[in-house]
Amino acid sequence: MLNQIDLSRADLNLLVLFETVMEERHVGRSANRLNLSPSAVSHGLGRLRSLLGDPLFLKTPRGVVPTDRAAELAAPVAEILARVRSVISSAEPFDPARSTRRFVVGAPDGASSVFLPPLLTLARREAPGIDIGIRQLLPRQGEPSPSLAWRDAIVELEARDMDVAVVPFGDFPLRFVVNTIYEEDFVVAMRAGHPFASNPSVENYCSMQHLVVSATSDPNGFVDRILSQHGLSRRVALTVPNFMFGLAVLADSDLLSAFPRRFVAMHASRFGVMGIEAPIPLGHFKINSIVPKVAMMDAGLAWLVGLLRQTGQTALAAAA
C-alpha cells in the first residue's frame, strides 16, 4: 500500500483513523471514538490524503462518504490492522474483563432480537466495559438465490462497516469463517384468541389477510413462493419494515404472519401475540455468524464469536 519512501513518514495511527472514519462515516463520531478533537481527525485525514494521493472521504450534509480509492483500501487496511492487533494481543492477551472495545454486529431484527438479550447478559458478566452496536441487515428483495440476496453482508464485512454478520445463510466464500448460533423455523403468529387458531387448515390460512415483514414494502415473500409451489396464494394486506413493529400490529388486528419461532417465544407474549404450527412447512434454516478469516486473528473478535455461539443455547431454551 505504501512505498519505502512513504513508510519513513507513515504513522500507524493514521490507518486506525482511516478505519474508524470508514466505519463511522462521520468526523465527529470518529473523533469521539478515538478520543480526539474533530480538528485533529480532520488534520489526520489531510495527512492521509497527502500520503495516498486521494481525497479518500468527501463531505456530505450527513457526514462523509468514501471515494472509490478509499473503498479499495478498506480491506487491505483492515488486514494490516488485524495483523498488528494480533501481534500486540500476543504480547498482552485480550482480557474481556478489562477491555473497553466497541463491537458492531449486523443482523436482521428477527435474529438480533433473539441473540441480543443473552449476549448482553453474558457481556455484562464477562466484559462490563465492552459496548455493542447492532446494525440492521436485510436481504435484497427479489434476488433469485440466498447468495445474491445476502451479498451486501459480504461487502459490509469487508468494508469493516461491522465486525460480525449474523444471517440465515451460511454458504459464504472460503475467506469467511461461518459458525452456527442456532437453528430456526417459522410459526404462524397472531393475536391471542384469533379464530385461525381453532381451525388452522391450509384453506383457512389462505383465506385470511396477512402481514409480511419487508423493508422495501415488497408483499411477495418466501411464504408466497412456498404457497405457489402448491398452487395456492394469499392476500398480503400489509407490509411492515421489521418484526418488532409486526408484533405490535398483530396484537391489534386480525392479520396473520409467518414469524421466526424463537423470536415469537422470546417476545410475543408481551404483545399478547401467540404462535402456532404452520399448516404447511415453511422451511428450516440455520442462523450463522460470519466473520472474515483474517479478522479472526483478533482475539477480541474471536471472543465475541464465541460469546455469540453461547447465546444459541439460550435461544434454544427460550423456544423449548
Q: What CATH class has 184-283?
A: alpha beta
The CATH 3.40.190.10 portion of the chain extends over 102-182+285-319, 184-283
Pick the CATH number of 4-91 from 1.10.3720.10, 1.10.10.10, 3.50.50.60, 1.10.1740.10: 1.10.10.10
> 146-178, pLDDT tens digit by residue?
777 788 888 888 888 899 999 988 888 888 999
Single-letter residue type at 320: A
DSSP states of the chain? ---HHHHTT--HHHHHHHHHHHHH--HHHHHHHHT--HHHHHHHHHHHHHHHTS--EEEETTEEEE-HHHHHHHHHHHHHHHHHHHHHHHHS---TTT---EEEEEE-HHHHHHHHHHHHHHHHHH-TT-EEEEEE--PPTT-SSHHHHTHHHHHHHHTTS-SEEEES-----TTEEEEEEEEEEEEEEEETT-GGGG---HHHHHHSEEEEE-TT-----HHHHHHHHTT---EEEEEESSHHHHHHHHHTSS-BEEEEHHHHHHHGGGGTEEEE--SS---EEEEEEEEEGGGGGSHHHHHHHHHHHHHHHHHHHHH-
Between the alpha carbon of residue 303 and those of residues 195, 198, 299, the distances in Å are 47, 46, 6
Q: Which amino acid is present at 13?
A: N
Find the range with the poorest average confidence among 17-21, 28-32, 75-79: 75-79
Least Cα distance to 186 among 278, 123, 58, 304 occurs for 278
**How would residue 213 be classed by pLDDT, with cut points 50, 70 and 90?**
very high
Which pLDDT score is estimated for 143?
Answer: 67
Question: Chain-wide mean pLDDT for the chain?
Answer: 88
pLDDT at residue 68 greater than cutoff 70: yes
pLDDT at 2: 43
- pLDDT of residue 315 exceeding 90: no
**Hey, what CATH topology would domain 102-182+285-319 get?**
D-Maltodextrin-Binding Protein; domain 2 (3.40.190)
Highest-confidence range of 2-6, 45-49, 90-94, 274-278, by mean pLDDT? 274-278
Q: How far is CA 13 from CA 20, 39, 45, in A?
A: 11, 15, 11
